[in-house]
Amino acid sequence: MVKSKTFLCAERIQRFMMAFFILVVMALWAKGLSVAGLALLAFMAVMLVVYGLFDFCPSTWFLTKLFGSCYCQCPNGEGQN
Express each pLDDT in 48-58 by its tens digit: 999 999 988 88
Count CB neighbours of 70 within 10 A.
23
Express each pLDDT in 17-59 by its tens digit: 999 999 999 999 999 999 999 999 999 999 999 999 998 888 8
User: Which residue, 68, 18, 67, is CA-closest to 47?
Assistant: 18
Whole-structure pTM over 0.85, yes or no? no
- Locate the domains of the chain by residue range: 2-74
Our measurement of the distance from residue 31's CA atom to the centroid of its chain's CA atoms, rounded to an integer in Å, reads: 25
